[in-house]
Structure 1
């Protein structure tokens, strides 16, 4: 059992104070403010000046200390006010290939005061600086790192300001509900990257007669023996089939089960490459995944649909754990009582 830590307590407290939402309006309930390094040094200087003034009973030092102290207090109110009333909303969770960054489009809407020199970031991404006039909106895009395919949802998107003097920083977070997508990273299929050799050129040429394009793929049950490249089989022991697609021919199927011996992630990467290749050739194709079948079609919209299916295959949408409810603390509702009555009536006597 893990021992509770200060960081763990802090994270849970922040999560309770900032529940997940695609829209957050900042106020004194969810804004945090602390001195920066320069602010700490400034406070230490004021303390030294105050001690010096008390020691020498110097009215000029007193006056300068209190004036600078007033500047510090005024900066604290202005820094907090710079974010108070500002609304940060997630406009769109983007899509990108795994191993890159997924863009999250955000909209900042200022309240009755200007929001000056505000920066928004997520994790280790570079901050995006923006100033929002009172009553107006500005759109920004934050890049979130996506190391692997699937759903991408940042735990927190940070908003911060150090205006006007950099002596204090006020910050908060948006904890979005919506998630972006990281597509499977395309990897060239070995059979497609290989070129036809020797008599295979002739075999492919004969197969291509009356068609527009041909590809080499592993043999699948039900394929005609006339399509098999027997010279390659004699040389390598691999059954390779010449597959073609004409404008009036039958649509090609991209099958998850076709890549025997490859891991699931490798198969998805192969299929992602084939989807891009089919889109480039502008031919009809379908996608067959375990538990899912996408009918043959063509075009950019069909390619995006297939890439999304590959991205989320075997993945579950991110969701937060719900608090556990214990019997003595659970208040019975009418629906609960009704379900208990139905259960008791159906049980044997």
Structure 2
């Protein structure tokens, strides 16, 4: 009786309820679906790249502008269909009239939205610089032969700026692009879109810039002083106690660093003399990549970035040493920027470098 009421299930792998079969099918379907999605994405990207070349300047025309209804536009179109069916059902002339008027409005909005981008010219003026983890500014200029209203320029990580320009005029705007690591930052594709005038349709295109921005290493204060470094305040004491350094004065020559000029001597007698340091002790502060042995390379660069900012505030001459690169001691904002740019680009290749 028990066997009659509850017959045993057949151990057939072809049955739909078999857990082994369902897990096997799901295991096969997942890579298959991901492969299909990947192929579709690659084909789409290749098609876009053929239509949108890489350039810092882009003039949008009908060959590069795409347009589709927004969510509000789809609802609006659905309501038009319902109104049309209602008018046909009741043979009501007023419903016909309202439906056709709203349909004509939708068509007019489509032309206006497309023309809002047509003929627009967008140019990258200057990519910015900043530290890793901070937004990097990109300055753009927008020109149009007609009034262009509510043009939104954005990128994949979510940053966006909205610009409007009068006919035959130009307007500048700054887009903040998120950064993650040091080196060169070049957004693969910047989206330019508009939903003017009614938000029923969205016209868009892309700008693929060439010139990258520079991202400095994120400053991290080192837990200890770098090995072999000499603090600026201890220079004189080390020189006196050790007696290992000698400072020789010679006439100034074109190309000498301003940090080595003896300004006190110049203020006394007007003679331009340059100090030459002999030996390491007593010389201006050196920030050395090799001063942090056993530390990851990227973390060393972050330490050096923090020390660069710290030395800039002290007002003392300092230099930078990286493997294969030496920046002589100097002062000033230009010197600081040169060192930060060197830290940003060390062992980094610019986007597109080496491509024929």
Pairwise TM-score range, normalised by the shorter structure: 0.7 to 0.9
Per-residue Cα deviation, 1:197-226 (whole angstroms, up to 9, x for no partner): xxxxxxx99956569xxxxxxxxxxxx799
Shifted more, 154-163 versus 6-15: the winner is: 6-15
Q: What is aligned with 2:313?
A: 280
1:75-224 equivalences under 5 Å are: 75-111=109-145, 113-192=146-225, 207=234
Residue 83 (structure 2) pairs with residue 56 (structure 1): no
Cα separation, 2, equivalents of 1:51 and 1:322: 59
Q: What is aligned with 1:15?
A: 49
Shift of 1:322: 5.9
Cα separation, 1, equivalents of 2:232 and 2:98: 92
Shift of 1:192: 4.0
Shift of 1:297: 1.2
Shift of 1:269: 0.9
Contact between 1:125 and 1:143, CA under 8 Å: does it hold in 2?
no
Contact between 2:58 and 2:122, CA under 8 Å: does it hold in 1?
yes
Shift of 1:257: 1.1
Over 3 Å counting, the alpha-carbon distance change for 1:174 and 1:42 in structure 2 is: same
Over 3 Å counting, the alpha-carbon distance change for 1:206 and 1:132 in structure 2 is: closer
Cα separation, 2, equivalents of 1:165 and 1:188: 52
Contact between 2:133 and 2:180, CA under 8 Å: does it hold in 1?
yes
Shift of 1:93: 0.3
Cα separation, 2, equivalents of 1:258 and 1:52: 81
**In structure 1, the residue corresponding to 2:299 is in which secondary structure?**
helix
Residue 301 (structure 2) pairs with residue 268 (structure 1): yes
Over 3 Å counting, the alpha-carbon distance change for 1:207 and 1:32 in structure 2 is: closer
**In structure 2, the residue corresponding to 1:169 is in which secondary structure?**
strand
RMSD value, Cα: 2.7
| TM-score when normalising by structure 2 | 0.74
Q: What is aligned with 2:81?
A: 47
Cα separation, 2, equivalents of 1:321 and 1:289: 24
Larger radius of gyration: 2
Contact between 1:158 and 1:173, CA under 8 Å: does it hold in 2?
yes
Cα separation, 1, equivalents of 2:354 and 2:82: 50
Cα separation, 2, equivalents of 1:114 and 1:144: 27
Contact between 2:235 and 2:283, CA under 8 Å: does it hold in 1?
no
Cα separation, 1, equivalents of 2:283 and 2:235: 14
Cα separation, 2, equivalents of 1:108 and 1:320: 28
Per-residue Cα deviation, 1:137-177 (whole angstroms, up to 9, x for no partner): 11111111111111001111111111111100111111000
Q: How many residues align?
A: 282
Over 3 Å counting, the alpha-carbon distance change for 1:188 and 1:205 in structure 2 is: closer
Cα separation, 2, equivalents of 1:320 and 1:192: 37
Over 3 Å counting, the alpha-carbon distance change for 1:206 and 1:170 in structure 2 is: closer
| TM-score when normalising by structure 1 | 0.75
Contact between 2:124 and 2:141, CA under 8 Å: does it hold in 1?
yes
